[in-house]
C-alpha cells in the first residue's frame, strides 16, 4: 500500500509539474502561432480628429507592408483600433479596453499628450510594451520606464531646435514668445527657458494665448511693443493661424518660428486666409522632408499603396518611425516572441531605421526617447523647403 501510494503521489507531482510548466510557457496575450495583435488608439473623432486617422494610417501602412512581405517570423500583424477623442478619461478607458478586453500583445498609439500621460500607468502596471504614436510631452517617457518608448521628438527637443534656430538669426538680441499655458507648451519651453540667456537673447514679451482663441490682438500688440528680432510661437495650428493673421494685420514682421505642430506651413497658410502670412514664418520639423520631397518618395508610395483614397500630408508620416521600430524589434526578438523579449529588443535598438523621420532611432537602458534630431522648414512660393537647423547663409 505504501509503495502504491508513493507511486500515485509521484504521478500527481509530475502531472502538476507539467501543468505548471505549460502555464509558465504559455504565450503572452495577443500572440498565436500565426498572429500578433497590436492595439492602436488616437482621436478618430472630435475637434482634433485631424491627428487621428492620418497619423495612425501611416503606421498601419507600415504594418500592412510588413504583412505583405511575410509578416514577423511567420506571424501577421492584426490591429485593434480605439477612439480616444483626445480626452484623458476616454484615453485611459480605451487603453484599459485594449489591454483587458482585447488582450493585445503591445500598443502603438496616442497623438494627444494629455491623454497618453493620463494612461501611462496602465502600460506600466500591465507590463505592456507601448510605443508612442505622435504625442510629444516629455513626462510620458522621461523619467524612463521599462515599457514606454517614443520615436517622436519630445517637446523639450522641439523647443531646443526652435531656440537654436532663433539664436542664429543675424543680429538677434531680443525674442518674444506667444504660447499656450499648458503642459504641452511648458515642455517645449523647457530648453528655451534654460538656454535663451546663454545664447545672448533677452525675452521682451512672453504672452499666453488660450486654446480655441479666435483673436490675438492683445498678444500681438504686446509683442509689437517689445520690438523683438525673433518671435517664437508655441501654439496649436488653429491658434497659430489666429496669431499670424493678427500679426500681419498689425504689422509685426517676424521672423516667426513655430513648433513642429505647424510644420505643415502650407496648411497653416491656408488656415490664416492670407497668401503672405507665412512668408517670414518657419517651423521645427522632425521629418526628413515635406510632401513631394524625393526624400519621402519611398514612404509616400507605401502610404498610397495601402490608403489610395487618402490625401498624403505631413501627418501621414508621423507614425511610421514608431511602426518601423516596432517591426524591427519584434523580428529581432525571435520566433518565441514575448512582451519582455520585445522590450529587450527595443531597448537594444541602435541607429535604427526611422523611415521619414529626421533621425536614427537609438534607445538604451535609461533612454526611451529614441529620436532627438530635427530641422527647420520654411516656405518658398507654394513649396515647403528644408531650411536646415540654422539661419540660411546668404552670399
**In-domain check, residue 307:** yes
Q: In what order do the strands lie in the sheet with 174-179?
A: 202-208, 174-179, 230-234, 256-258, 281-285, 375-380, 383-386
Q: What is the mean pLDDT of the chain?
A: 92
- Based on the fold, state whether residues 299 and 187 are members of the same structural domain: no
Q: Are residues 66 and 147 in the same domain?
A: yes
Average pLDDT, integer, range 298-324: 96
Q: Are residues 118 and 241 in the same domain?
A: no
Number of domains the chain contains = 2
Domain of 254, in residue numbers:
156-285+376-386
Q: Could you tell me if 172 and 278 lie in one domain?
A: yes
Same domain, 313 and 174: no
In a domain, 186, yes or no: yes
Distance CA 57, CA 196 (A): 38
> 347 and 303: one domain?
yes
Q: Is residue 174 part of a domain?
A: yes
Q: Summarize pLDDT for 103-161 with one digit per residue, the tens.
A: 999 999 999 999 999 999 999 999 999 999 999 999 999 999 999 999 999 999 999 99
Give the percent of the chain with pLDDT over 90.
89
Between residues 2 and 304, the one the model is more confident about: 304
Q: What is the pLDDT of residue 394?
A: 55
3-state SS class at 83: strand
- Is residue 40 scored above 50 in pLDDT? yes
Q: Is there a single domain that holds both residue 228 and residue 320?
A: no
Domain with residue 270: its CATH number is 3.40.50.2300
- Give the pLDDT score at 18: 42
What's the sign of the alpha-carbon dihedral 88, 327, 128, 357? negative
Is 276 in the same domain as 340? no
**Same domain as 97, residue 129:** yes
pLDDT, greater one: 40 or 49: 40
Domain membership of residue 394 (yes or no) is: no
Q: DSSP letter string over 119-149?
A: HHHHHHHHT--EEESS---GGGTSS--TTEE
- Looking at residue 27, its pLDDT comes to 80
Task: Look at residues 215, 269, 248 and name the one whose alpha carbon lies nearest to residue 379.
Answer: 269
pLDDT at 47: 82
Mark whether 351 and 305 lie in a shared domain.
Answer: yes
DSSP annotation of 391: P
At 41, give phi and psi (nearest 5°): -145, 160
The answer on 380 and 270 residing in a single domain is yes
More confident call, 109 vs 51: 109
Residue 217 lies in a domain: yes
Residue 16 within a domain? no
Q: Are 260 and 337 in a shared domain?
A: no
Tens of pLDDT, residue by residue over 240-295, are 999 999 999 999 999 999 999 999 999 999 999 999 999 999 999 999 999 999 99
What pLDDT was estimated at residue 284? 97
| Structural domain contains residue 10 | no
- Give the residue from 81, 68, 85, 96 showing the smallest Cα distance to 37: 81
Does a structural domain hold residue 6?
Answer: no
Q: What is the pTM of this model?
A: 0.87
Amino acid at each position: 500500500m505504501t509503495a502504491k501510494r508513493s507511486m500515485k503521489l509521484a504521478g500527481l507531482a509530475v502531472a502538476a509539474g507539467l501543468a505548471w510548466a505549460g502555464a509558465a510557457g504559455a504565450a503572452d496575450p495577443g500572440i498565436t502561432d500565426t498572429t500578433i495583435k497590436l492595439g492602436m488608439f488616437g482621436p478618430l473623432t472630435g475637434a482634433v480628429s485631424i491627428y487621428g486617422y492620418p497619423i495612425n494610417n501611416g503606421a498601419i501602412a507600415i504594418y500592412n507592408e510588413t504583412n505583405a512581405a511575410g509578416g514577423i517570423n511567420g506571424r501577421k500583424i492584426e490591429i485593434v483600433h480605439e477612439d480616444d477623442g483626445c480626452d484623458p478619461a476616454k484615453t485611459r478607458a480605451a487603453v484599459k479596453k485594449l489591454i483587458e478586453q482585447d488582450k493585445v500583445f503591445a500598443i502603438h498609439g496616442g497623438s494627444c499628450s494629455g491623454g497618453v500621460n493620463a494612461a501611462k500607468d496602465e502600460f506600466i502596471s500591465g507590463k505592456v510594451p507601448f510605443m508612442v504614436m505622435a504625442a510629444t510631452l516629455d513626462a510620458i517617457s522621461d523619467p524612463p520606464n521599462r515599457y514606454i518608448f517614443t520615436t517622436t521628438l519630445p517637446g523639450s527637443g522641439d523647443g531646443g531646435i526652435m531656440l537654436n534656430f532663433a539664436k542664429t538669426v543675424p543680429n538677434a538680441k531680443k525674442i518674444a514668445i506667444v504660447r499656450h499655458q499648458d503642459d504641452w507648451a511648458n515642455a517645449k519651453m523647457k530648453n528655451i527657458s534654460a538656454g535663451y540667456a546663454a545664447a545672448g537673447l533677452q525675452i521682451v514679451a512672453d504672452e499666453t494665448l488660450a486654446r480655441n482663441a479666435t483673436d490675438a490682438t492683445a498678444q500681438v500688440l504686446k509683442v509689437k511693443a517689445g520690438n523683438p528680432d525673433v518671435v517664437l510661437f508655441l501654439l496649436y495650428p488653429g491658434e497659430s493661424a489666429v496669431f499670424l493673421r493678427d500679426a500681419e494685420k498689425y504689422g509685426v514682421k517676424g521672423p516667426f518660428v513655430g513648433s513642429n505642430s505647424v510644420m505643415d506651413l502650407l496648411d497653416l497658410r491656408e488656415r490664416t486666409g492670407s497668401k503672405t502670412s507665412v512668408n517670414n514664418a518657419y517651423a521645427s520639423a522632425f521629418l526628413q522632408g515635406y510632401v513631394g520631397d524625393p526624400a519621402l518618395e519611398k514612404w509616400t508610395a507605401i502610404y498610397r499603396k495601402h490608403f489610395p483614397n487618402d490625401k498624403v500630408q505631413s501627418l501621414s508620416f508621423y507614425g511610421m518611425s514608431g511602426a518601423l521600430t516596432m517591426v524591427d524589434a519584434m523580428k529581432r526578438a525571435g520566433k518565441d516572441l514575448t512582451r519582455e523579449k520585445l522590450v529587450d529588443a527595443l531597448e537594444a535598438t541602435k541607429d535604427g531605421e526611422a523611415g521619414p523621420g529626421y533621425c536614427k532611432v537609438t534607445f538604451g537602458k535609461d533612454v526611451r526617447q529614441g529620436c532627438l534630431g530635427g530641422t527647420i522648414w520654411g516656405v518658398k512660393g507654394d513649396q515647403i523647403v528644408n531650411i536646415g537647423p540654422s539661419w540660411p547663409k546668404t552670399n
